[in-house]
């Protein structure tokens, strides 16, 4: 079982006139951030602690810190922010919490079978509660077998400035638990595609510029692999990724013109492609930036400087030959004119 602090809500109703009274069980970082957020959202807050006098200084002055039993008795809406190993301290509150809505994962559902279980707020951090919701952190994923209980928590989320997302029944709680463990899920396919394109072009350039000269002429060009081949490969991958950014828009426009409407749903593959355009574009931009950096670093290598000097010498040598050729032609013409 995971050891992170999870949040649980017991909410019979949010229809009380005036400022609703909300209780919090627990005095950790999450509880303190939650109390500040609730007070800023217009709620009255009562905090339940096993040591009320010691914990009172940790919370805002607007929050009343009392014992857990008093908080559970006073509040119509109750948040429980405890570590799983401390769930046993709630056993004496079983009768007080009976009939209330409980937002939780597995353990509290077993401890309080008479409560309506709603799983939620596990993907919201204490920092998000304290600093305010932004972008993707505004979403609160909820799942429950009780429709009214889930609706109560949804109203609470909206009042706090969050966006509730219905994840279905309580059996989906495991998926909600695993969401904080996902690392950039929308970037998986674009990153893999970018790496595959880079590997493909790098292999092609390696065979053409390194392996083929070595097998046919015995010329060793393996020194090109770290920088030169990478520098040649990066713009190829960047151009293909840039193409993949604009092609789905053209396909979507063509389908809309063919169907004669913009309200028909695109095929699932095209729809997913359209949603990945931003990630593909950023991956292409990264390849272009790396190409610029490699291009600036390329003249620092000894082999690159030697190649530049050789090219310059060849150009001067060719110009000298051309000059002597032109001079000889002038002398020939002058000699022919003198003979006449």
Closest CA relative to residue 167, chosen from 211, 215, 97, 119: 119
pLDDT exceeds cutoff 70 at 332? no
- Provide the pLDDT confidence category of residue 323 given band limits of 50, 70 and 90: low
- Rounded average pLDDT over 63-90: 81
Whole-angstrom Cα distance, residue 166 to residue 175?
A: 12
Q: pLDDT higher for 48 or 251?
A: 251
β-strand partners of 9: 79
Residue 149: predicted pLDDT: 83
The overall average pLDDT reported for the chain is 80
Over the stretch 264-294, which tens digit does the pLDDT of each residue have? 889 999 999 999 999 999 999 999 999 999 8
- Provide the pLDDT confidence category of residue 21 given band limits of 50, 70 and 90: confident
- Three-class SS of 73-113: HHCCEEEEEECHHHHHHHHHHHHHHCCCEECCCHHHHHHCC
Lowest mean pLDDT among 52-61, 113-122, 157-166, 196-205: 113-122
- Rounded average pLDDT over 327-335: 59
pLDDT exceeds cutoff 80 at 51? yes
Residue 3: predicted pLDDT: 39
Residue 137: predicted pLDDT: 67
Closest CA relative to residue 187, chosen from 259, 105, 99, 278: 278
- Rounded average pLDDT over 304-329: 66
- Please list, in sequence order, all residues whose beta carbon lies within 8 angstroms of the beta carbon of residue 30, skipping any fewer than 6 positions away: 5, 7, 81, 125, 126, 129
- Provide the pLDDT confidence category of residue 228 given band limits of 50, 70 and 90: confident
Residue 7: predicted pLDDT: 45
pLDDT exceeds cutoff 50 at 4? no
Owner of token pair 């970082």: 29
Whole-angstrom Cα distance, residue 158 to residue 141?
A: 12
Over the stretch 170-201, which tens digit does the pLDDT of each residue have? 777 777 777 777 778 889 999 999 999 999 99
Whole-angstrom Cα distance, residue 282 to residue 268?
A: 23
- Encoded tokens for 35: 């109390």
Residue 291: predicted pLDDT: 95
Residue 206: predicted pLDDT: 96
Residue 71: predicted pLDDT: 85
Do 141 and 123 contact (CB within 8 A), yes or no? yes
Residue 161: predicted pLDDT: 84
Lowest mean pLDDT among 29-43, 52-66, 130-144, 267-281: 130-144
Residue 9: predicted pLDDT: 45
Whole-angstrom Cα distance, residue 295 to residue 284?
A: 16
- Provide the pLDDT confidence category of residue 335 given band limits of 50, 70 and 90: low
Do 46 and 75 contact (CB within 8 A), yes or no? yes
Closest CA relative to residue 149, chosen from 104, 196, 86, 199: 104
Over the stretch 109-148, which tens digit does the pLDDT of each residue have? 667 777 777 888 877 877 777 776 665 567 888 888 888 8
pLDDT exceeds cutoff 50 at 255? yes
Residue 337: predicted pLDDT: 56
- Go through the chain and tell me how many residues it has: 340
Q: pLDDT higher for 144 or 106?
A: 144
Helices (H), the chain: 29-40, 52-55, 68-74, 94-97, 106-111, 126-131, 147-159, 173-178, 188-206, 212-217, 228-259, 268-275, 277-297, 302-339
Question: What percent of the chain is predicted at pLDDT more than 90?
Answer: 27
Residue 257: predicted pLDDT: 94
The model's pTM: 0.57
Whole-angstrom Cα distance, residue 223 to residue 205?
A: 13
């Amino acid at each position: 079982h995971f050891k992170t602090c999870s949040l649980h809500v017991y909410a019979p109703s949010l229809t009380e006139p005036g400022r609703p009274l909300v209780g919090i069980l627990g005095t950790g970082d999450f509880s303190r951030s939650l109390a500040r957020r609730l007070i800023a959202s217009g709620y009255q807050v009562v905090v339940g602690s096993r040591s009320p006098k010691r914990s009172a200084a940790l919370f805002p002055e607007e929050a009343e810190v009392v014992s857990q039993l008093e908080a559970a008795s006073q509040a119509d809406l109750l948040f429980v922010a405890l570590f799983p190993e401390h769930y046993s301290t709630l056993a004496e509150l079983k009768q007080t919490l009976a009939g209330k809505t409980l937002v939780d994962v597995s353990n509290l559902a077993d401890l309080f079978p008479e409560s309506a279980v709603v799983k939620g707020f596990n993907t919201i951090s204490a920092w998000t509660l304290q600093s305010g919701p932004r972008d993707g952190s505004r979403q609160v994923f909820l799942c429950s077998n009780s429709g009214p209980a889930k609706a109560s928590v949804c109203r609470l989320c909206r009042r706090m400035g969050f966006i509730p997302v219905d994840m279905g029944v309580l059996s989906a709680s495991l998926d909600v638990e695993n969401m904080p463990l996902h690392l950039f899920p929308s970037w998986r396919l674009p990153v893999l595609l970018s790496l595959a394109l880079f590997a493909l072009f790098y292999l092609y350039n390696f065979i053409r510029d390194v392996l083929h000269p070595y097998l046919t002429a015995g010329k060793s060009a393996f020194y090109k692999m770290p920088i030169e081949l990478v520098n040649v490969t990066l713009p190829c991958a960047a151009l293909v990724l840039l193409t993949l950014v604009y092609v789905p828009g053209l396909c979507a426009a063509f389908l809309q013109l063919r169907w004669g409407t913009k309200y028909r749903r695109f095929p699932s593959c095209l729809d997913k492609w359209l949603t990945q355009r931003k990630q593909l574009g950023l991956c292409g931009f990264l390849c272009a930036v790396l190409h610029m950096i490699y291009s600036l670093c390329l003249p620092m290598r000894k082999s690159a400087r030697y190649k530049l000097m050789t090219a310059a010498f060849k150009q001067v040598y060719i110009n000298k030959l051309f000059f002597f050729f032109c001079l000889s032609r002038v002398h020939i013409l002058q000699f022919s004119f003198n003979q006449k």
